[in-house]
């Protein structure tokens, strides 16, 4: 079983295209594992996938992208489905980080961080994670530091993604500096 491929397929299904899999996300993004498996089994390459494989996939992944609880599974972040996924509000650490390609810098410093194609802006708890996120699109990404404590005190909402990923609706430019 190629668990990395399975993880990509699940991210696609649970973040972006549940309807292609005849799935409906609830307001926190959960779907019943039974329904997901029925849908996956329609594809030849996934006809033998079991619930045990989903657990294994999560355990083997270098990032915690998916979560299983009480017979359901969800993507923890990254959604682009039209229906807004409700995330738990949480007080952030003093600083959060965001890695982005050089070419986006001027625009971000002018209008802040906006969610673009996703439902939320994605922020990293640590510099190394932000660096990796930025490297997906630029060999020498820019690292931004978000004054999350100040933003939180000013009423900006932050949400928990996983241990390393934080979410926000929009981060205004006054909280952003080049790190
Ligand atoms: C940029 C992956 C111009 C923003 C990653 C980013 C992450 C602006 C891009 C997760 C802007 C959106 C999310 C503005 C933001 N002007 N550009 N005002 N505001 N941007 O992919 O944060 O591996 O939607 O800097 O690791 O790169 O799939 O967000 O470059 O955790 O699990 O617009 O996805 O996780 O790109 O990545 P994305 P992201 P997985």
Residue 38's CB: how many other CB atoms inside 10 A? Answer: 13
CB of 122 shorter than 6 A to ligand 1? yes
- With H, G, I as helix, E, B as strand and everything else as coil, classify residue 8: helix
Task: Determine the distance separating the centroid of ligand 1 and the alpha carbon of 119, expressed in angstroms.
Answer: 11
CB of 100 shorter than 6 A to ligand 1? yes
Set out the domains of the chain in order of their start, with CATH numbers.
Answer: 3-75 (1.10.10.970), 95-178 (3.20.170.30)
pLDDT digits (tens, 9 = 90+) for 35-84: 999 999 999 999 999 999 999 999 999 999 999 999 999 999 999 999 99
Please state the φ and ψ torsions of residue 147, each to the nearest 5 degrees: -80, 80
CB of 12 shorter than 6 A to ligand 1? no
Which pLDDT band holds residue 11 (cuts at 50, 70, 90)? very high
What is the average pLDDT across 3-14? 98
Task: Determine the distance separating the centroid of ligand 1 and the alpha carbon of 121, expressed in angstroms.
Answer: 7
Q: Which atom of ligand 1 is nearest to the CA of 118?
A: 24
Q: What pLDDT does residue 162 have?
A: 96
Q: What pLDDT does residue 146 have?
A: 98
Task: Determine the distance separating the centroid of ligand 1 and the alpha carbon of 68, expressed in angstroms.
Answer: 25
Q: What pLDDT does residue 153 have?
A: 98
Q: What pLDDT does residue 168 have?
A: 98
Helix (H) or strand (E) run with residue 37 in it: helix 33-41
Q: What pLDDT does residue 25 have?
A: 98
CB of 116 shorter than 6 A to ligand 1? yes
Q: Whose CA is nearest to atom 5 of ligand 1?
A: 133
Q: What pLDDT does residue 18 have?
A: 98
| Most informative mutation of 78, 109, 143 for ligand 1 (most atoms within 8 A of CB) | 78
d(CA 31, CA 95): 33
Task: Determine the distance separating the centroid of ligand 1 and the alpha carbon of 113, expressed in angstroms.
Answer: 9
Q: What value of ipTM does the predicted structure carry?
A: 0.98
DSSP letter string, 87-154: --B-PPPSEEEEEE-GGGHHHHHHH-B--TTSSSEEEESSHHHHHHHHHTT-SSPEEEEEEHHHHHHT
State both tokens at 100. Answer: 């982005």
pLDDT digits (tens, 9 = 90+) for 12-25: 999 999 999 999 99
Q: What pLDDT does residue 174 have?
A: 98
- Residue-wise burial string across 60-81, b where 16 or more C-beta atoms lie within 10 A, e elsewhere: eeeeebbeeeeebbbbbbbbeb
pLDDT digits (tens, 9 = 90+) for 118-170: 999 999 999 999 999 999 999 999 999 999 999 999 999 999 999 999 999 99
Q: Whose CA is nearest to atom 33 of ligand 1?
A: 116
CB of 123 shorter than 6 A to ligand 1? no
d(CA 120, CA 92): 15
Q: What pLDDT does residue 164 have?
A: 96
């Amino acid at each position: 079983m190629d668990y990395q491929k399975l993880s990509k397929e699940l991210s696609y299904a649970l973040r972006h295209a549940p309807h292609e899999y005849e799935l409906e996300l609830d307001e926190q993004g959960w779907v019943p594992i039974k329904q997901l498996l029925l849908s996956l089994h329609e594809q030849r390459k996934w006809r033998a996938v079991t619930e045990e494989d989903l657990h294994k996939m999560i355990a083997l992944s270098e990032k915690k992208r998916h979560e299983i609880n009480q017979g359901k599974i969800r993507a923890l972040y990254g959604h682009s489905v039209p229906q807004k996924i409700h995330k738990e509000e949480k007080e952030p650490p003093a600083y959060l980080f965001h890695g982005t390609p050089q070419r986006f810098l001027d625009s971000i410093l002018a209008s802040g961080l906006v969610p673009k194609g996703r439902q939320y802006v994605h922020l990293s708890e640590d510099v190394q994670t932000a660096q990796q996120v930025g490297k997906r699109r630029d060999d020498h990404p820019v690292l931004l530091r978000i004054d999350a404590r100040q933003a939180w005190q000013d009423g900006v909402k932050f949400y928990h993604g996983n241990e390393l990923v934080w979410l926000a609706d929009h981060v205004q430019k006054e909280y952003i500096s080049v790190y």
